[in-house]
């Protein structure tokens, strides 16, 4: 496809989901600089669908995505992407303010129930006396979701070009001329879905960056044979120092909830963050750790106000931002893609996302 209508830069969940929606109405090429799509943040995600995650500005996108993830169109995917989990937010003396802020922020929007955490988590250390249950939280099959979007994109005529980096781009002849190692691509609309590289892509296109901040998140897989059940809820510290969740029998995925500034890169875990994660886990429960089985890191990228950025740049005609999706890009993917596709096309938004105010995510707030 030498003259597509739209070029999307980035093949993670952002680019794949938006591409799948746009390919039904336009000729779309997706450029992915790695040998496989989703190599960075998407492929390293410990994703769950949790309505309170990301704050009140993200919650409408998450809530609208829930039905689309649990009961997708059979032509898109056979069965649900979600499985039951639940979140137990826990705290110690002094964390009452965090509990109260959580309850107040989502009052009337998300069902949050005060509970006794010790009754729900055998082995929880006795100083963890504060509990809030968010029963609606569910695990997401990230790989299945990402592959479903790529499959739908290709089925609708979209073209994926792997190992193809955008070198530069410029406005020419009423559209965009995109330079790649394999040659030039002319298009009307250029979508920046490059995650941690979003500002770099903007600069390469002569567009002012927004100030995206890639932040490293560390994850550790632990073998914990005495963990009481694989069906325990996601355990999230109200003070934001850790969370962990079962990953099958006798294993957990654990993070110290770190947000270390990083340049865009192939992120790797740092030993200090791994040690912090284990120390915080041992402060929470008395389950002995048999061994560290795996550790990794990914970059979660945020705009300065930590809200996602969806929309055309007001100073660069035809340049569309679809970035700044932090750690919530997967749980919001269906709604975000529907909303952004309507903005790209200039159409009315579908009914499933009609109640979401797209102005809250516009790049014009930074210009």
Backbone angles phi, psi at 97, to 5 degrees: -65, -35
Cα(74)–Cα(72) distance, rounded to whole angstroms? 6
Nearest to 310 by CA among 293, 335, 273: 335
Mean pLDDT, residues 48-71: 97
Alpha carbon 259 to its chain's center: 14
- The pLDDT score that the predictor gives to residue 46 is 83
pLDDT at residue 43 is higher than 90: no
Which overall architecture, per CATH, does domain 87-135+213-302 show?
2-Layer Sandwich (3.30)
For the chain, the average pLDDT equals: 96
Residue 160 is given by DSSP the state E
pLDDT at residue 80 is higher than 70: yes
Mean pLDDT, residues 112-120: 98
- The pLDDT score that the predictor gives to residue 32 is 98
Could you tell me which residues come within 8 angstroms of residue 352 by beta carbon, excluding any fewer than 6 positions away? 64, 67, 68, 335, 338
**Could you tell me the pLDDT band of residue 41, with boundaries at 50, 70 and 90?**
confident
**Could you tell me the pLDDT band of residue 2, with boundaries at 50, 70 and 90?**
low
Output the CA–CA distances (angstroms, integers) from residue 168 to 95, 207, 238, 292, 308, in the order listed. Answer: 49, 11, 44, 42, 24
Sign of CA dihedral 272, 278, 283, 284: positive
Residue-wise pLDDT for 228-271, tens only, equals 999 999 999 999 999 999 999 999 999 999 999 999 999 999 99
Q: Where in the chain is the domain with CATH 3.50.50.60?
A: 6-60+142-212+305-366
Q: Where in the chain is the domain with CATH 3.30.9.10?
A: 87-135+213-302
CATH class of 6-60+142-212+305-366: alpha beta
Mean pLDDT, residues 133-155: 97
Mean pLDDT, residues 75-85: 96
Over pLDDT 90: what percentage of the chain? 96
pLDDT at residue 363 is higher than 90: yes
Mean pLDDT, residues 327-353: 96
Nearest to 77 by CA among 322, 334, 325: 334
**Could you tell me the pLDDT band of residue 1, with boundaries at 50, 70 and 90?**
low
Residue-wise pLDDT for 156-194, tens only, equals 999 999 999 999 999 998 999 999 999 999 999 999 999
């Amino acid at each position: 496809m030498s003259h597509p209508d739209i070029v999307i830069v980035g093949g993670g969940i952002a680019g794949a989901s938006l591409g799948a929606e746009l390919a039904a109405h336009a000729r779309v090429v997706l450029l992915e600089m790695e040998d496989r799509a989703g190599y960075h943040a998407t492929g390293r995600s410990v994703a769950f669908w949790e309505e309170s995650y990301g704050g009140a500005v993200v919650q409408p996108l998450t809530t609208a995505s829930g039905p689309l993830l649990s009961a997708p169109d059979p032509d898109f995917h056979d069965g649900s992407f979600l499985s039951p989990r639940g979140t137990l937010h826990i705290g110690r003396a002094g964390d009452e303010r965090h509990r109260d802020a959580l309850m107040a922020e989502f009052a009337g929007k998300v069902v949050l129930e005060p509970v006794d955490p010790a009754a729900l988590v055998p082995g929880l250390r006795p100083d963890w006396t504060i509990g809030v249950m968010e029963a609606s939280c569910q695990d997401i099959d990230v790989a299945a979701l990402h592959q479903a979007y790529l499959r739908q994109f290709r089925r609708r005529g979209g073209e994926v070009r792997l190992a193809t980096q955008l070198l530069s781009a410029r406005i020419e002849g009423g559209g965009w001329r995109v330079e790649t190692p394999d040659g030039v691509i002319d298009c009307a609309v250029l979508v920046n879905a490059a995650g941690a590289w979003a500002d770099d892509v903007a600069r390469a296109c002569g567009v002012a960056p927004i100030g995206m901040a890639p932040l490293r998140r560390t994850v550790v897989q632990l073998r914990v044979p005495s963990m009481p059940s694989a069906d325990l809820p996601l355990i999230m510290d109200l003070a934001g120092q850790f969370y962990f969740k079962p990953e099958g029998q006798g294993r957990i995925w654990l993070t110290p909830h770190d947000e270390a500034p990083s340049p865009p890169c192939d992120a790797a875990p740092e030993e200090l963050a791994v040690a912090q994660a284990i120390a915080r886990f041992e402060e929470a429960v008395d389950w002995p750790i048999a061994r560290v089985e795996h550790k990794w890191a990914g970059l979660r990228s945020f705009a300065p106000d930590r809200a996602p950025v969806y929309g055309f740049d007001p100073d660069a005609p035809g340049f569309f931002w679809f970035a700044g999706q932090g750690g919530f890009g997967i749980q919001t993917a269906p709604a975000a893609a529907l909303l952004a596709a309507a903005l790209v096309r200039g159409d009315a938004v579908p009914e499933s996302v009609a109640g979401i105010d797209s102005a809250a995510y516009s790049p014009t707030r930074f210009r």
